[in-house]
Structure 1
């Protein structure tokens, strides 16, 4: 004769159960078999599986659970969601005891501290990105934040009915820790953290797997009444979403090109099973990608009341924290500061009263401590301290102006130096370049022109002959070979000063082969730089060279 007994086990094995937790009740049977009948507070349930999943529990889930297999009934298990220890009055307690005696026929230890409100845990666990649904083989980081030293914490995951320990990467400077969450082969997994040698823990985060291309992604944390929430319709691989249709309990509620269905203020009537239908194209891979469509899995959304919320308000002396709906046993206050650029770095402040003076720029939150748990976090107050930034801004402006002045001075000096260098270059141009400038007022200056062949000792073949300028200004032109030589300065192929023409331009005139004097360079005009505009350039037509030549011919005759 086989003997077996039934028992109800809670998974994960939380030291306390907080509002919003996903928990599973297991009907353990040694030698037993299915089907299983569940009984809650003496009433039979329709659920027939050996495991019973409770999503986002609230105080309404408090009570006694039993299971029946093969005609055998398990020992009762009492579930209590941690509350603000609001004690029921005597009438309610007597009524509860009577119900328990009838349903169990035994004296059961059931906590009489059934809650009219609930609490939040000491530490917070949340995804760094994403929501509660992810594809097969995917993973993401979960960030743990607590008021105390995180080195004394450890984290776990429940996959199916097995619990595993997880590696915890602690960042002491940022006062946060990170675990890597993955589902592996499980359809869903619940992640949570506990403090060693203490009954303190974080909230639980449940992630669910989908193998479909289209996913409806609800938040990974419980939906709280009165707060906004968003349901996203996501397609694996990040294609272009052309249209999304959202359904609640298989009824269309929104159809648009937006991928998000937003609920401004969540309420109990929003509870239900949500899904979406997406029309999309992988246009980022190929411009001509075909249009595709797909449906998501249905995801259950449960809006809960949650703990009473604290409230931050401004006062003349700083920030004031209050919790109008908190019971009297919620006494001390906890204040938190978060930098504006890092939402996952949270520092607990030393103040424990309801009024603080704000010093550092960032986000401020508060909550009240109520024994084994806390009230809901308050609204976020952002402090920017523009007055504190004024000296920094003024200093930056002064530095900028100083740099601007230095730059202007440097440019001015550079331009001055460039002007001086330009003047020096202008002076150098008087004696440089392809032409030599003739200074008509300087008696010591000489102009050199190409000379033809010469037999005189004062003339080098093809060289230059200095033409000394006398007291008068004149133009020098080539004198033909027929001209009489008078002194060393005259000869075959030399130059004769034409004193009657006032000009600053010298030209070498070419003639026909029959008229070209021996030793004269090939034709063309050589124009020398002008100094004064009072001088008139001598042209071929007006040149006295022809008159001199005619006069010489007449004398020969």
Structure 2
């Protein structure tokens, strides 16, 4: 009886000891090195209420026994502890690297969010070869190894199909026997007809993030709403939502709601459904980042000393490695520093044009500017007409004369006569007369010859005692013996008036006249008489009177 009692007491003490045992912090999946962008979980072995500590500081918002680090960053480097039943665990040190892993794991076909039971195809790429590499899958708190079928020993890439995805979240990564490994790819499943798709790697601060709403079995989406938490981000016919210049505040849970129809049922619907929530993680670019200058010079100030530079060209929306030498041909390029166990993040993008291409582009641009200027000049010239036109020389007898008086106070008066009667264009005269600063009257007579025997002349006469008036006589002769005249007479005692008479002869003996008379006592009025003859002895008169009362 006593033996049984002792056994019961021993079992009770063992159970009590287990209850009082210190909790442990366990990391999963178990990673030898943690790189920026990795997803991992910290689990506390305590069974009662759990408290978490980071570098000795309490984390009051964390009450679960599991702490999820969705996207690792250097700021997550430190010591982690949990507390249960009043006991703290030992500290678990974690260091997140300041660079990215040496190899790349990407989705070759498929989407990061798939329907339950579907699969995707992944691709592993390492520039130094894949000998000794294997991949790992973490699902349901267990990690399993994936063997790779590498055909050639010098292969730098390999594709493999993953098993059907049945759990909400599955993590893949690859590594070799040393510290070398690839980044992670996280695949998720959904049972809904609508899913929110995003780039499988975490968003990066300063870059662009694009969310896309997909409908399984159709692309006939009429309208889409995007949400972050309970806030609506956009509502439009577009199936994508772009976040430019990402900041850490973009981190959160997103979903979309779509209105759609099926191709196989065009008469049905439309249907509306909302996707599952998806976590969007944002990471700060690693400190070790390469920079590409306009002179195609790659640099990485914070990288280890023993490193080389590798170049990449954007080809069909994917970066293809082109070696360790700077490119010579035109294209879109980036670079990064590479060393034994890691790489810097990809540099900024630069569009390169060889010098000869730049010269040709400059020449083409210059020719284009000249062509545009010529077209515009002709266009505006056609619309507005020529600004300056040259007077063609019609004969050796044509004259161009311009007289300009000095110390002008008023405008100039120009008289241009080009044709003589009889239809023959013989001479052109241009006369500029200025009446100011002329103390006496100036009298001009211009005769332009018409038929044979006609006379023409220019005569300037100045009458005595005339201080301001001007007298002009123009005679234009037609046939032999014809006589015509232009006469301006100024009567005595009238200081400013002008009298003009124009006579244009027609046939022999014809007489015509133009007469401007100013009556006495009227200071501003002008009287003009125009007479034009037709046949011999006939007379046609026209009188126009213009009065300026002021």
Q: TM-score range by the shorter chain?
A: 0.5 to 0.7
Q: Displacement, 1:181?
A: 3.2
> In structure 2, which of residues 149, 161, 171 is the aligned counterpart of residue 180 of structure 1?
161
> In structure 1, which of residues 319, 329, 348 is the aligned counterpart of residue 304 of structure 2?
329
Match of 1:515 in 2: none
Q: How many residues align?
A: 337
Match of 1:367 in 2: 336
Q: Displacement, 1:331?
A: 5.3
Match of 1:465 in 2: none
Residues 264, 170 of structure 1: CA spacing in aligned structure 2 closer, same or farther, 3 A cutoff? Answer: farther
1:40 aligns with 2:19: no
Check conservation: 1:136, 1:210, Cα contact below 8 A: yes
- Give the whole-Å Cα distance in 2 for the aligned partners of 1:328 and 1:168: 31
Q: Displacement, 1:371?
A: 6.8
After superposition, the CA RMSD in angstroms is 2.9
Match of 1:492 in 2: none
Match of 2:7 in 1: none
- Give the whole-Å Cα distance in 2 for the aligned partners of 1:194 and 1:344: 21
Match of 1:470 in 2: none
1:49 aligns with 2:28: no
- Give the whole-Å Cα distance in 1 for the aligned partners of 2:314 and 2:254: 35
TM-score, reference length from structure 2: 0.56
1:26 aligns with 2:26: no
Deviation track 1:267-312 (CA, whole Å, cap 9, x = no partner) reads: 1222222111111111x11221211111111222222112243233
Q: Displacement, 1:195?
A: 1.5
- Give the whole-Å Cα distance in 2 for the aligned partners of 1:363 and 1:151: 31
Check conservation: 2:102, 2:342, Cα contact below 8 A: yes
- Give the whole-Å Cα distance in 2 for the aligned partners of 1:44 and 1:328: 33
The alignment partner of 1:60 has SS state of: helix
Residues 341, 61 of structure 1: CA spacing in aligned structure 2 closer, same or farther, 3 A cutoff? Answer: closer
Residues 368, 133 of structure 1: CA spacing in aligned structure 2 closer, same or farther, 3 A cutoff? Answer: same
Check conservation: 1:157, 1:192, Cα contact below 8 A: yes
Check conservation: 2:310, 2:338, Cα contact below 8 A: no
Matches within 5 A, 1:109-508: 118-170=98-150, 172=152, 175-182=156-163, 184-196=165-177, 198-282=178-262, 284-308=263-287, 309-315=289-295, 319-323=296-300, 326-327=301-302, 329-330=304-305, 332-337=307-312, 340=315, 343=318, 346=321, 349-351=323-325, 356=326, 358=328, 364-369=333-338, 372-380=341-349
- Give the whole-Å Cα distance in 2 for the aligned partners of 1:375 and 1:345: 16
Residues 329, 385 of structure 1: CA spacing in aligned structure 2 closer, same or farther, 3 A cutoff? Answer: closer
The alignment partner of 2:249 has SS state of: helix
Deviation track 1:159-195 (CA, whole Å, cap 9, x = no partner) reads: 1210011132436476212232346332211111111
- Give the whole-Å Cα distance in 1 for the aligned partners of 2:259 and 2:79: 47
Q: Displacement, 1:70?
A: 3.6
1:65 aligns with 2:80: yes
Check conservation: 1:312, 1:378, Cα contact below 8 A: yes
Deviation track 1:30-65 (CA, whole Å, cap 9, x = no partner) reads: xx5344332222214433333221101112222221
TM-score, reference length from structure 1: 0.55
Residues 160, 51 of structure 1: CA spacing in aligned structure 2 closer, same or farther, 3 A cutoff? Answer: farther
- Give the whole-Å Cα distance in 2 for the aligned partners of 1:216 and 1:346: 31
Residues 9, 183 of structure 1: CA spacing in aligned structure 2 closer, same or farther, 3 A cutoff? Answer: farther
- Give the whole-Å Cα distance in 2 for the aligned partners of 1:71 and 1:138: 46
Matches within 5 A, 1:97-108: none
Residues 322, 350 of structure 1: CA spacing in aligned structure 2 closer, same or farther, 3 A cutoff? Answer: closer
The alignment partner of 1:139 has SS state of: coil
Check conservation: 2:25, 2:92, Cα contact below 8 A: yes
Q: Displacement, 1:246?
A: 0.5
Bigger helix fraction: 1
Check conservation: 2:303, 2:344, Cα contact below 8 A: no
- Give the whole-Å Cα distance in 2 for the aligned partners of 1:13 and 1:76: 16
Gaps of 5+ in 2: 1-12, 358-550
The alignment partner of 1:152 has SS state of: coil
